[in-house]
Amino acid sequence: MFSFLKTVVVVALLIVVGVFAYRWFGPEQETHPDRSKMPWMNKTLSPDERADMVLDQMTFREKIRMVHGTGWGVLKAGDPIAANSNFAAGYMEGIERLGIPGIDLADSAVGARMAAYQSRYATLLPSTLGAASSWDPASAFLYGSVIGRELRAWGTNMSIGGGVNITREPRNGRNFEYAGEDPILAGTMTGNLEKGVFSQHVMSDIKHYALNDQETGRTIVNVLLDKKAMRESDLLAFEVSIGIAEPSAVMCSYNLVEGDHACENDYLLNQVLKKDFKFKGWVVSDWSATHSTVKAALNGLDQEMPGDDGYFGRALGLAVLERKVPMARLNDMVHRILRSMFAAGVIDDPPVRTVVDPFRGRDDAQHIAEESIVLLKNADQILPLKASASSSIAVIGSHADVGVLSGGGSAQVDAPGGNAMDPKPGGSGWTEHIYFPSSPLKSIQAHSPQASVHYVDGTDTAAAVALAKSSAVAIVFVNQPMQEEMDAPTLSLPNNQDALVDAVAAANPNTIVVLETGGPVSMPWVDHVKGVVEMWYPGIGGAQALANILFGEVNPSGKLPVTFAKDDSQLPHPVVPGLEGVTGGPASHRDIKPFDVTYTEGAKVGYKWFEATDKQPLFPFGFGLSYTNYAYSGLTVDDTSRTVHFTVRNAGTHEGTEIAEVYVALPAAAKENYKRLAAWQRVKLAPGESKEITLPLHPLSLTVFNTEQNGWQLLPGEYTVAAGPSSNDTPLKATLHVQ
Ligand code: BGC
C-alpha cells in the first residue's frame, strides 16, 4: 500500500515537473496556427489584455527569445540573417504557434534604409531637421506616413527613426535626423511624425534616449547635467513626443548619463520614462548599447539589439532562474513588446507586400521640402528670380548638375540608380556622400527655358569665377555632408567652400548661395552675397522644390528650428567636447578616451543660450523670410484659459504662409534670463488678408521642473508673453497673470 502510494506521489510529481518544464522550456510547435482558436485574437479586448493572454501561453524560452534580436545580419558582413528577417537593421523572431509575427526593426529616419539589398525602392524625404523648419505637425504626420506606407509595402512592421535629440551641439553629425533645438517644437514634430508611421499600422520608435547630443565619443562620453536642466530640455523633447505618439518603442542611447550607460540607467528608464512619462511600450537598446544583464534588466531595458547571444539571451535566462532578475520583470518586458504589437495593429493587420509608389512618395517629399526650405537673405529682392535677371544663370558646385545631397550613417537611404555623382552597384557605404537624382540644374533650366544656364563643379575657382562673371545671376551650391559617428569639427563649411563663395561673389554682384547642410553653418561671406537659401538635405523632390522657390511659384515659409551662430566662439562649447586638442582627421568617436562632458549651459539650449548671454547670432531661431511681409497686431492674453489672441496681416503682394510665433518669459522666481517658445501657428494669407488667431500656451512652456516634488510646477506671478515672426523679433507684448 505504502509503495503504491509512493509510486502515485512520484508519478504525480513527475507529471507536475513535466508540465512545468514543458511550460518553461518546452518545444515550440511551429505549426500553422489556427487563429480562430486563439482568444487573444479578439480585437475587442485591450492590447494589454491580449498581451497577457499570449504571455500566459508562452514558454520560458519563447519569452527569452523575444527580448533579444538575432544578430547583426545584413549590418555586418558574414553574419547570418534570420530566415524571416526582411533585411532591416534588427530582427526579433516571432512565435508562429501563437500567431505572433517576428519584428523587423527597420532604420528609417528620413526614409527606409537598405533598399538596395533587395532591389527595393524607398523615398528619400527631406532631413527631419529640414522638415521641422515647416513647424507644421500635418507635414510631420505626412512624413511619417510615407515611411510607414513604404515599409508596409516592403512587408516590414517596424520603423526605427523618430530621432528627437535636441540641437545642444550644433556640430552634431546627426542633427539632420533630429528636429531642432527647442524641446516643444522638436517633440511636437517628432511626435506627429511617429503618429504618421503608426497610422500605417507599422510600429514606431523614438530615439536616442537620452542626451546623445554629440557623436564625438558617443559610446564613452559621460554626460553630466542636473535633473532640472535635463527635464526642461532634452527629456522634455522626449516627454512631448512620447505623449503625442505613444510610440511602440523608445531606443536607449550609447552614451552614459551621470555615470550609468543610458541602457541601464534607472533614473532615465524606470523613473522618468516608465513612471513619469507613463510609457507603455518597450525600451530597445541601440545597436550594442547593452552593457550588462542583471543591471540592465532591473534598470529598465526590455530588449537587446541586435542581440544574438549577448546579455539578454542565455545570460538573462540564467539570471531569471537564479532569481537575480524576477520572472515578473521578464514578463513585463515581453508584455510591453506584445501589447505594442497589438496596439499598432501589426498582428490584426500585418503588412502586405506590394510595390512602393515612387511617384506618390516623390510628390509628398517635394511638398514637405517646399515647406522646409528657409529663405535667409534676400537683398534687393533678388528672389524670386525675374526673367530679366535670369537671362543667363551660372550654377556652381555641389554636384548640382546631377543631384542633391543626403545624410549618412544609419539614416542613409539608397539612391535609385545609385549615387548620382558616381553610380555603382550595391547599397550605400557608411561614409559615402550620396547624391540623389534630383538635379537642381535641370529644374532651374526647366523654369527658365529662354535663359542660358551653365554649370561648373566649383573645384576650379577660376572657372567658377569666369562663369559667374559672364552670367546675370550666380547660384552657388555649398554642402556640409554629415553622418552618424562623426561630428563636424567646426561650423565652417568643409573643403574651402567659403573661399569659393567669396570668389564668386566678388565676380558677380547677383550671387545667391544655396546651402545643403546637415545643420547650422557659419557664413563669413554673408554680407557679400544677395541671397541665401537653406535647403538642408531636401530629399528626392528637392530640386523641384528649390526651383519652385527660386522662381516664386512657391513662396518660402520655413523658419529655422535651430540658431545659426556667427562662428564657433559664440557656442557654449567653442570646441566640440572631447575634441579639444584633437587635430586633423575626422571627428570620430573612435579616436578618443572616455571623458565627462558637463553641459554648463544647462537647459539654455540654442536661442535660450544666445538670449541669456546677450549674443547676436548670424540667424536666430524661428527666423525665415518670405516674398511678402506680415504685420502683427492686437495681442491679448486670457489668464483663465491661458490662451493668446492676435492678428496677422499679409501686408505685401504675394500670397504666403506665415509661421506666427509666441514666446513666454517666466516670472522672476523662475530665475531664467531667457524666453521659451510657447505656441505657434502656420497662417495662410492672401495679399491684404488678415486673420485673427487664438492659441493655447503649451502648459510645459509655462512650468518649471521641481526636483524635490519630482513634478512640473506653475509659478504664480507675471509672465511676459511676446508674439512675432521670430525669436528675436516679437513686436507684440502682453502679460499673463498666474495666481
Ligand atoms: C544607430 C541607431 C540605429 C542602429 C541600427 C546605430 O548605430 O545609433 O540609430 O537605429 O544603429 O542601425
Q: Which atom of ligand 1 is nearest to the CA of 177?
A: 9
Q: Position of cell 516627454?
A: 239
Measured CA to CA, the distance from residue 140 to residue 513 in angstroms comes to: 27
Q: Which atom of ligand 1 is nearest to the CA of 212?
A: 8
From the CA of 437, how far away is ligand 1's center (Å)?
25
Q: Are 186 and 228 in contact (CB under 8 A)?
A: no
Q: Which atom of ligand 1 is nearest to the CA of 208?
A: 9
Measured CA to CA, the distance from residue 344 to residue 248 in angstroms comes to: 7
Residue of 556, 525, 636 lying closest to 133 (CA atoms): 556
26: confidence class by pLDDT, cuts 50, 70, 90:
low
Q: Which atom of ligand 1 is nearest to the CA of 75?
A: 12
**Backbone angles phi and psi of 394, in degrees to 5:** -95, 125
**Nearest CA, atom 10, ligand 1:** 107
Radius of gyration for the alpha carbons in the chain, expressed in angstroms and rounded: 27
Best residue among 484, 589, 590 to mutate for probing ligand 1, ranked by most atoms within 8 Å of CB: 484
From the CA of 219, how far away is ligand 1's center (Å)?
12
**Backbone angles phi and psi of 410, in degrees to 5:** -75, -5
Share of residues in the chain with pLDDT > 70 (%): 94
Q: Which of left, alpha, beta for 614 (phi over 0: left; psi -120 to 50: alpha)?
A: left
Q: Are 575 and 491 in contact (CB under 8 A)?
A: no
Measured CA to CA, the distance from residue 157 to residue 105 in angstroms comes to: 7
581: confidence class by pLDDT, cuts 50, 70, 90:
confident
Burial 499-519 (b: 16+ CB within 10 A, else e): ebbbbbbebbebbbbbbbbbb
Q: Which atom of ligand 1 is nearest to the CA of 207?
A: 9
First to last CA, the chain: 84
Q: Quick one: average pLDDT of 414-440?
A: 93
The DSSP line for 402-415 is: T-EE---GGGPPPP
Does residue 437 carry a pLDDT above 80? yes
Beta-strand runs (E) in 345-408: 374-378, 392-396, 404-405
Of 108-112, 385-389, 455-459, 716-720, give the lowest mean pLDDT range. Answer: 385-389
All three cell numbers of 209: 534616449
**Nearest CA, atom 6, ligand 1:** 287
Does residue 600 carry a pLDDT above 60? yes
Does residue 421 carry a pLDDT above 70? yes
Does residue 1 carry a pLDDT above 90? no
Q: What is the mean pLDDT of the chain?
A: 95
Measured CA to CA, the distance from residue 107 to residue 114 in angstroms comes to: 8
From the CA of 215, how far away is ligand 1's center (Å)?
12
| Residues found in the chain | 739
Domains of the chain, by residue range, sit at: 45-344, 365-570, 628-738
**Nearest CA, atom 7, ligand 1:** 287
Spell out the SS3 assignment of 155-169.
Answer: CCCEEECCECCCCCC
Q: Are 448 and 385 in contact (CB under 8 A)?
A: yes
In 481-571, alpha helices (H): 497-507, 542-550
Q: Quick one: average pLDDT of 170-188?
A: 98
Measured at the CA of 718, the angle between CA 716 and CA 724, to 5 degrees, comes to: 130
From the CA of 69, how far away is ligand 1's center (Å)?
14
**Nearest CA, atom 2, ligand 1:** 286
Instruction: List, in sequence order, every residue forming a beta bridge with 516; answer none if it has no partner.
Output: 479
**Backbone angles phi and psi of 724, in degrees to 5:** 170, -170
Does residue 31 carry a pLDDT above 70? no
Residue of 51, 122, 101, 106 lying closest to 74 (CA atoms): 106
The DSSP line for 86-141 is: -SSSEEE--BGGGTB--EEEEE-SSS-S--GGGT---PPPPPHHHHHTTT-HHHHH
From the CA of 698, how far away is ligand 1's center (Å)?
32
Residue of 688, 682, 615, 628 lying closest to 654 (CA atoms): 628
pLDDT at position 592, please?
Answer: 77
Q: Quick one: average pLDDT of 528-541?
A: 98
**Nearest CA, atom 11, ligand 1:** 287
Measured CA to CA, the distance from residue 487 to residue 483 in angstroms comes to: 8
Measured CA to CA, the distance from residue 549 to residue 562 in angstroms comes to: 21
Does residue 363 carry a pLDDT above 90? yes
Q: Which atom of ligand 1 is nearest to the CA of 409?
A: 7
From the CA of 3, how far away is ligand 1's center (Å)?
63
From the CA of 519, how far away is ligand 1's center (Å)?
20
Pocket of ligand 1 (CB under 6 A): 89, 107, 160, 207, 286-287, 410, 484
Q: Which atom of ligand 1 is nearest to the CA of 107?
A: 10
Measured CA to CA, the distance from residue 359 to residue 123 in angstroms comes to: 9
pLDDT at position 466, please?
Answer: 98
Measured CA to CA, the distance from residue 675 to residue 662 in angstroms comes to: 10
pLDDT at position 562, please?
Answer: 98
Q: Quick one: average pLDDT of 181-204?
A: 98
From the CA of 686, how far away is ligand 1's center (Å)?
44
Q: Which residues contact 381 (CB under 8 A, 6 or more apart)?
A: 627
| CATH number assigned to the domain covering 365-570 | 3.40.50.1700
All three cell numbers of 307: 542581440
From the CA of 481, how far away is ligand 1's center (Å)?
18
For residue range 326-343, list pLDDT tens digits in order: 999 999 999 999 999 999
Is residue 218 packed enough to be buried (19+ CB in 10 Å), middle (13-18) or exposed (0-12)? buried
Q: Are 615 and 366 in contact (CB under 8 A)?
A: no
**Nearest CA, atom 4, ligand 1:** 287
Is residue 605 packed enough to be buried (19+ CB in 10 Å), middle (13-18) or exposed (0-12)? buried
All three cell numbers of 422: 558616381
From the CA of 108, how far away is ligand 1's center (Å)?
10
From the CA of 351, how far away is ligand 1's center (Å)?
23
Best residue among 110, 214, 286 to mutate for probing ligand 1, ranked by most atoms within 8 Å of CB: 286
Q: Quick one: average pLDDT of 339-363?
A: 97
> Model pTM?
0.96
Best residue among 107, 172, 221, 305 to mutate for probing ligand 1, ranked by most atoms within 8 Å of CB: 107
386: confidence class by pLDDT, cuts 50, 70, 90:
confident
Q: Quick one: average pLDDT of 615-621?
A: 98
The DSSP line for 350-364 is: --------HHHHHHH
Of 24-38, 179-193, 712-726, give the lowest mean pLDDT range. Answer: 24-38
Q: Which residues contact 410 (CB under 8 A, 6 or more apart)?
A: 89, 107, 109, 113, 484
Q: Position of cell 539612391?
A: 415
Residue of 600, 562, 697, 701 lying closest to 239 (CA atoms): 701
Q: Which atom of ligand 1 is nearest to the CA of 160?
A: 10
pLDDT at position 13, please?
Answer: 56
Q: Quick one: average pLDDT of 699-719?
A: 98
For residue range 558-577, list pLDDT tens digits in order: 999 999 999 999 999 999 99
580: confidence class by pLDDT, cuts 50, 70, 90:
confident
Q: Could you count the other beta carbons within 10 Å of the beta carbon of residue 544?
A: 25
From the CA of 578, how far away is ligand 1's center (Å)?
21
Determine if the peptide bond prior to 210 is cis (ω within 30°). Answer: yes
Does residue 398 carry a pLDDT above 90? yes
Share of residues in the chain with pLDDT > 90 (%): 89
23: confidence class by pLDDT, cuts 50, 70, 90:
low
Tell me which amino acid residue 245 is. A
**Nearest CA, atom 3, ligand 1:** 410
Q: Are 223 and 217 in contact (CB under 8 A)?
A: no
Alpha carbon of 141 to those of 241, 340, 356, 372: distances in Å? 12, 20, 19, 14
39: confidence class by pLDDT, cuts 50, 70, 90:
very high
Of 48-52, 586-590, 653-657, 700-704, give the lowest mean pLDDT range. Answer: 586-590
H or E segment and range at residue 534: strand 531-534
Best residue among 206, 253, 287 to mutate for probing ligand 1, ranked by most atoms within 8 Å of CB: 287
From the CA of 410, how far away is ligand 1's center (Å)?
6
All three cell numbers of 229: 536642466
579: confidence class by pLDDT, cuts 50, 70, 90:
confident
Q: Are 205 and 161 in contact (CB under 8 A)?
A: yes
From the CA of 169, how far away is ligand 1's center (Å)?
19
pLDDT at position 25, please?
Answer: 57
Does residue 430 carry a pLDDT above 90? no
**Nearest CA, atom 8, ligand 1:** 286
Residue of 691, 702, 561 lying closest to 643 (CA atoms): 702
In 485-525, alpha helices (H): 497-507
From the CA of 483, how far away is ligand 1's center (Å)?
12
Best residue among 204, 410, 487 to mutate for probing ligand 1, ranked by most atoms within 8 Å of CB: 410
CATH of the domain spanning 628-738, picked from 3.30.565.10, 2.60.40.10, 1.20.58.220, 3.40.50.11540: 2.60.40.10
3-state secondary structure of 393: strand
All three cell numbers of 170: 550644433
Alpha carbon of 317 to those of 283, 400, 686: distances in Å? 18, 55, 65
Measured CA to CA, the distance from residue 286 to residue 388 in angstroms comes to: 54
Does residue 30 carry a pLDDT above 70? no
Of 76-90, 225-239, 277-291, give the lowest mean pLDDT range. Answer: 76-90
Q: Which atom of ligand 1 is nearest to the CA of 163?
A: 9
* CATH topology (fold) of 45-344: TIM Barrel (3.20.20)
From the CA of 492, how far away is ligand 1's center (Å)?
27
Q: Are 519 and 175 in contact (CB under 8 A)?
A: yes
Maximal CA-CA distance, the chain: 114
Q: Quick one: average pLDDT of 90-116?
A: 97
